[in-house]
Structure 1
Amino acid sequence: MNDPSATPIEVLIAAIPETAGSALYGMVDILSAAGTLWQSLIRTEPQQNLFRVRLMAPLREPFRCGNGIPVTPDVSLNDDPKANILILPELWLGPDETFNGRYPEIMDWIRIQYRYGMMIYAACSGVIMLAETGLLDGCEATSHWGYQYLFRKQYPKVPYRPEPNLVFADPAGRIVTAGGTTSWHDLAIHIIARHANPGEALRIAKVYLLKLHGEGQLPYASLVRNDPHADAVVRSCQQWLHQHFMKTDAIAHVVALAKIPERTLKRRFKTANGLTLIEYLQNLRVEHAKTLLERTDTMPIDEISVAAGYEDASFFRRLFKRSTGLTPSQYRRMFQPILTS
């Protein structure tokens, strides 16, 4: 039960024109409901707000964020607001865009507040804003799986992990990053459980029908991406693999196609894509298997293995589990209802 005499935990949510309104106001709603919504629904006492949530922007003037959603900041940087928690929600930012040089005054303020003990939580592309401060250098972090290339190119000092949904950047857990778009759900539940109490986090999850994504991001991530690069030889090899990945001797064909030494090709391929040649081929095959699992409910796993290019079904099962975090059967059960309902 909540202590009615307790002071609400102070939370600031950073809002800028690039902010995604759904994540911004969703976080406001859920944290503001902690301690009151469940209690109101079942008519129990006492009711008490566990968090005091305020929107913070560079200036106090109203503005519109992503998709023209209006934002009226509660405080600005000029107010020098104090809080226990800072949240950096999702941004509308393309995978090839850069955040470099934007909002230097916010970057400085975040660094100072962290130095003085503020806890920082960032979700999805909001992690890019946090990476820009330098506070993630040398620290593991996650974000939406679609930003792997961006982190590799723009923030090479950040050990980026695309598979988990929540990552603690430091041993004390003062910086926590969350993965894909709706990962702010997981982040909100984590914040409530950690700073208020686990029971209330469970109640809020029930009220809002929120599900913790314990499986992480791997089942949802595309293993095949067309990251831009300037190596024409590697591009031609990629194009051939996309059409002939099921061939058992695909690697040998690609080496012959490239007309350069195999060791040179493998080195250039890894430099251009961030993946080895065999990893790229395996990703193509697993993606094809995922499509077959999503669209068929009777095709045996052994046949899907052969269709993806693997005669050894046991090896295919191990590779699929390593790549997606799920067995082929688990993946089929997870995604077929979405496409057949």
Structure 2
Amino acid sequence: MSHLKPRIALLAIPEVAASTLYGMNDVFASAGRDWAALVEGKKGESVLDPRVVSFRGPGPMTLTNGVRIVPDEDDGVVPDVVCVPEVAVAPGAVLTDSHRDEIAWLRRCYEGGAIVATACSGALLLAETGLLNGSEATTHWAYCDALSCYPGVQVHPNRALVVGGEGGRLIMAGGGTSWEDLALYLVARLVSVDEAMHIAKLFLIDWHDVGQLPYAALARGSQVDDAGIAHCQNWIAEHYERSSPVATMIQLSGMTERTFNRRFKLATGMSPIDYVHTLRIEEAKQLLESDDQPVEAIAQDVGYEDAAFFGRLFRRKVGITPLQYRKRFRGLRRALEAT
């Protein structure tokens, strides 16, 4: 890994979006070059060496959104940093056979001293290597349950960036545009904090300091394998604001409380009361985005008589207070609705 410039290998696979892959490439290529040219009027030169690499043979590759690219083939040289931008597969997909070459390459690079960094669902591919066993991690909020199924992986869905492994050489960013946080972190680590700040200003990047929970939603659909639980899910979707909703669902199901709780958790991955809280919080988020009524009134509308309890619950599940959520998202919704 003795390169003149730190080499960053960006992994191209069919399940990656071109915007993320080349967005990261552009950020890394900008380091040391664009700030000097645009702000100081000097000729700058990139101080990092990003390359898009593939193990799918020579020639073009079609990515998940239909864009065709021509990545480089791996030259056998261990890079300083390996980045897995994402793996756009269903959360429960098994990658062991379909990405065997990439998994072996990630292990080989890490054993050779490279930093291995992932964004979004790319953490699933890293987990397949076994390098995350017993470690902390993060990923896109919709993939947290899948990632937590790997041995000993402690998932932090509320964190936009997690650094772990020997020497801090395992780095994971959350979902969506948190790849920008990952890129800034790597620029700061490989070049300097000042250069990372230059990049942030040039690309108008805001650090996702509140994590990704404000963007999360109830990602579980109706449970079709258990008709009794599916019936209760349909009912609670329309009546979540009622008092004692879990007791009513138990009555509707005709099951004992113990049986209902067990089957509901098996079907949805959540306890009945957690499911109710999640539905209520999702509705509260919609009201905070679109309605001007006080937080106390919204709490009442979604089923909470105690506004203070609602505020604590909202912050625990979303990561910010209801007022902070309204400030962040109401303007965006109104701007989009006005277009």
Tell me the TM-score normalised to structure 2 length. 0.92
1:62-104, Cα deviation, whole Å (9 max, x unpaired): 222222222222232xx21221100001233234544231121
Aligned residue for 2:183? Answer: 188
Alignment match, 2:6: 9
Query: Once superposed, what is the RMSD of the aligned Cα atoms?
Result: 1.9
- Structural mapping, 1:155-170, within 5 Å: 155=150, 157-170=152-165
State the match for 2:70 in structure 1: 72
- In structure 1, the partner of 2:271 is 276
2:329 equivalent to 1:327:
no
* C-alpha distance in structure 2 between counterparts of 1:220 and 1:66, whole Å: 23
Higher deviation after alignment, 212-221 or 267-276? 267-276
Is structure 2 residue 53 aligned with structure 1 residue 56?
Answer: yes
The 10-residue stretch of structure 1 (84-93 or 308-317) with the greater mean CA deviation from structure 2: 84-93
Q: Provide the C-alpha distance between the structure 2 equivalents of 1:176 and 1:43, rounded to a whole number of angstroms.
A: 33
Equivalent-residue separation in structure 2 for 1:206 and 1:227 (angstroms): 44
Contact kept in structure 1, 2:138 and 2:174, CA below 8 Å = yes
The corresponding residue for 1:41 is 38
Tell me what 1:200 maps to. Answer: 195
Residue matched to 1:309: 303
For the residues of structure 2 that align with 1:267 and 1:170, how far apart are their CA atoms? 36
Q: Does the Cα contact within 8 Å between 1:149 and 1:227 map onto a contact in 2?
A: no
What are structure 2's unaligned runs of at least 5 residues? none
> How far does residue 23 in structure 1 lie from its aligned partner after superposition?
0.6
5+ long unaligned stretches in structure 1: 1-5
Which of the numbers 212, 215, 220 marks the counterpart of 2:210? 215
Code of the aligned partner of 1:146: A
Quickly say closer, same or farther: Cα 1:333–1:104, change in 2 above 3 A. Answer: same
Q: Deviations over 1:165-210 (max 9, x none)?
A: 1112326311111111211111100100111100000000000001
More displaced stretch, 94-103 vs 234-243: 94-103
1:120 partner SS: strand
Counterparts in 2 of 1:75-224, with a 5 A limit?
Answer: 75-76=73-74, 79-152=75-148, 155=150, 157-170=152-165, 172-223=167-218
| Alignment pair present for 1:18 and 2:12 | no
Q: Which SS does the other structure have where 1:60 is aligned?
A: coil
Task: Give the superposition deviation at 1:20.
Answer: 1.0
The alignment partner of 1:264 has SS state of helix
Residue 227 of structure 1, CA deviation: 6.6
Q: Percent identity?
A: 39
Partner of 1:3: none
The 3-state SS of whatever aligns with 2:7 is strand
Distance 2:222 2:99 in 1: 27
| Large movers: runs of 4+ above 4 Å | none
Is the 1:189–1:205 Cα contact (8 Å) retained in structure 2? yes
Distance 1:327 1:333, change over 3 A: same
